[in-house]
A and B are shown apart, each in its own frame.
Chain A
Amino acid sequence: MTSAGIPAVKAAARPTGGGRRLRLSWLGVVPFFAYVGVFLLLPTVIIAAGSFAAKDGSLTISNFTSINQPYLVKSFVNGAVVSVVSALAGGFAGALLAYAVVTGSPRGLLRRAVTSASGVLAQFGGVTLAFAFLATLGTTGVVTIFLKDHGIDIFPNGVWLYELSGLTLLYAYFQIPLMVLVFLPALDGIRPQWREATESLGGTTWHYWRYVAGPLLAPSFLGCTLLLFANAFSAYATAQALISQGNLIVPLAISNLLTSETGRAQPGLAKALALSMILIVTIVTVLYAVLQQRSARWLR
């Protein structure tokens, strides 16, 4: 309505501003850039520069070549495995939950409850999550004891909660809600008419999912799974609280390198690991953004 008037207003306002006002108006954003410069960009620069610096300050790539140690390579592989498995499992489970939500009333209480709860639980990592699962599936956990009383031993070959499989289960706890949050908009874009069109052309439910909804949702699903991967790959607090020792995944290795009290602290190596993590997460996030854009063409 008023959009026609706005350019005219702008054009009229511009000459009165003058050059001096424009130069002074930059002062308004100085605090923001000063803060961001010190607490966001400087740390990033410290990481990038430090990862190429030797102990004496000279330029080197030895920090990166020393990532090629068995225990560090293993932590990368472990981290990737946990992230892929928890992203796929969380992705599928989250997609099912999201589908169960969208097939209900769009303004209903159930949908509101699930989205609100997902918002909370997607952030629910760390110490509390580790404790929750210790109280559930630890050796004296509620479910462990309950099942034992009924003749089922969930740890026949030792306690797996503190290993990769346990960590993956814990990660699913925040991956599923995140998937619900990011995948719901895509599911909302699916029109009932497409299903009706499939049916009127003689297609079955299988045909609909295989040739219509599946291909439309695939890019978004893949993109969301990538986001979940990045989310799990970056997670640290949960693993630290659950496992507390060793270098099972990259964040734990970084943490040990930073805090090692035995004089083996290697800041250069820690920075190289941090930079590698940032690169991996950035690449995955960019792929996510590209896939989201692709799927936005149909699902809006």
Chain B
Amino acid sequence: MNSARRLRLRIFRITVFLVMGAFFLVPIGAMFEFSTRGNSLTAPRTLDTWTAIIKVPDLVQAISVSLQLAVITSVAMLALLLPTMVWVRLRLPALRRIIEFICLLPLTVPAIALVVGMVPLYRWIKINVSESILMLAFAYLVLVLPYSYRTLDAGLASIDLKTLTEAARSLGAGWGTVMLRVVVPNMSTAILNACLLSVALVLGEFTFANLLLYENLQVAILYQSFVSAGTSIAVAVAALMFAFVLLLILSFVGRPRERVARAEEAA
């Protein structure tokens, strides 16, 4: 590579990173700025909008509900998906393509379209089962299906499932022991990743809750913005930071394992 081209490439890269950095960081910074504004433009900075969050019962309620939904969805996702995927890999390999297709289906069905079909379903659930907002977890499970499937599938692919389960079974372990004490510990990273992704998705979910007439965190934030823009932006930033930390953990937790795999590959 000659020096003129190297210089041009350098200028190109710096320009791209600066422009993109500004485009992506300024709006997030602006939210911080906006949420710490006083009553007028000349007023000193305050954290009033942030402390006001806990004084709005609707917001506190919505935060609590969304956290519960996130936990329920993650647990239900693991309980439904992991045994099924293990079972299919071991006993029904012919079904693997079908399961994969079904799990990835929600990626091509827009949430706004899917919710149209869920409205009658949830009307029935509200009348016959429960009016609790926690029922939303059933719908959220559909949303997290593609991401969880991919993550868990990668995890399962990285372990020798057949040998492990056969060894455990021949030592007298039941299927419960196999799942909890052999499969889960061996793919803890993938399971953690799937859970973190699910939590992040549920905390950011708006479409289903809004159109099925439930008030989760995002819906509450939108309502709050009609009352106080500052407070709603403060909650939004807080939720965003929380999701960001989760995903940051995810991107670092995933790494050591990869390195091990790569080292094994090389050996």
- Which A residues have a C-beta under 8 Å from some C-beta of B? 25-26, 28-29, 31-32, 35-36, 38-40, 42-47, 50, 93, 96-97, 99-100, 103-104, 110, 112, 116-117, 119-121, 123-129, 131-136, 141-143, 145, 172-173, 176-177, 205, 230, 233-234, 236-237, 240-241, 251, 254-255, 258-259, 267, 270-271, 273-275, 277-278, 281-282, 285
What residues on B are CB-neighbors of A132 within 8 Å? 27-28, 30-31, 236
The listed residue with most B CB atoms (<10 A of its CB), out of A39, A143, A173, A233, is: A39
Decide: B110 and A251 in contact? CB cutoff 8 A.
yes
Decide: B233 and A47 in contact? CB cutoff 8 A.
no
Decide: B81 and A127 in contact? CB cutoff 8 A.
no
Decide: A131 and B232 in contact? CB cutoff 8 A.
yes
Decide: A29 and B121 in contact? CB cutoff 8 A.
no
Stretch at the interface among B53-61, B63-71, B182-190, B199-207: B199-207
Decide: A258 and B24 in contact? CB cutoff 8 A.
no
Decide: B142 and A31 in contact? CB cutoff 8 A.
no
Shortest Cβ-Cβ A-B pairs, 6 listed: A43-B117, A234-B110, A135-B34, A132-B27, A274-B113, A28-B87
What residues on B are CB-neighbors of A258 within 8 Å? 115-116, 119, 211
Complex Cα spacing A26 to B92, Å: 8
Q: State which of B34, B141, B240 has its C-beta within 8 Å of the C-beta of A128.
A: B240
Instruction: Indicate with 1 or 0, residue by residue over B118-155, a CB within 8 angstroms of chain A CB atoms.
Output: 11110000000000000000110110010000000000
Q: Does B247 contact A (CB under 8 A)?
A: yes
Q: State which of B35, B88, B248 has its C-beta within 8 Å of the C-beta of A116.
A: B248
The listed residue with most B CB atoms (<10 A of its CB), out of A44, A112, A120, is: A120
Decide: B121 and A43 in contact? CB cutoff 8 A.
yes
What residues on A are CB-neighbors of B247 within 8 Å? 116, 119-120
Complex Cα spacing A233 to B48, Å: 38
Which residue of A is nearest B160, CB measured? A2
Complex Cα spacing A133 to B26, Å: 9
What residues on B are CB-neighbors of A282 within 8 Å? 108
Decide: A28 and B110 in contact? CB cutoff 8 A.
no
Which residue of B is nearest A280, CB measured? B110
Complex Cα spacing A13 to B213, Å: 53
Q: State which of B5, B91, B102 has its C-beta within 8 Å of the C-beta of A205.
A: B5
Instruction: Indicate with 1 or 0, residue by residue over B77-88, a CB within 8 angstroms of chain A CB atoms.
Output: 000110110011
Decide: A278 and B113 in contact? CB cutoff 8 A.
yes
Tell me the count of chain B residues lying within 8 A, CB to CB, of chain A. 76
Complex Cα spacing A224 to B8, Å: 27
What residues on A are CB-neighbors of B111 within 8 Å? 234, 236
Decide: A135 and B30 in contact? CB cutoff 8 A.
yes
- Given A205-B5, A236-B207, A254-B116, also A143-B105 (CB < 8 A): no
What residues on A are CB-neighbors of B52 within 8 Å? none
Q: State which of A97, A112, A141 has its C-beta within 8 Å of the C-beta of B30.
A: A141
Q: How far is the CB of B90 from chain A (nearest CB, A)?
A: 9
Q: State which of B9, B117, B210, B251 has its C-beta within 8 Å of the C-beta of A103.
A: B9
Known interface pairs A97-B17, A131-B221, A143-B30; 5 further A-B residue pairs with C-beta atoms within 8 A, sorted by A's residue number = A100-B12, A123-B200, A128-B240, A267-B120, A281-B110
Complex Cα spacing A117 to B243, Å: 12
Instruction: Give B207-225 interface residues, CB cut-off 8 Å to A.
Output: 207, 210-211, 213, 218, 221-222, 225
Complex Cα spacing A48 to B251, Å: 39
Q: State which of A31, A35, A40 has its C-beta within 8 Å of the C-beta of B105.
A: A40
Q: How far is the CB of B170 from chain A (nearest CB, A)?
A: 12
Q: Does B239 contact A (CB under 8 A)?
A: yes
Which residue of B is nearest A30, CB measured? B84
Decide: B27 and A135 in contact? CB cutoff 8 A.
yes
What residues on B are CB-neighbors of A35 within 8 Å? 80, 138, 141
What residues on A are CB-neighbors of B84 within 8 Å? 28-29, 31-32
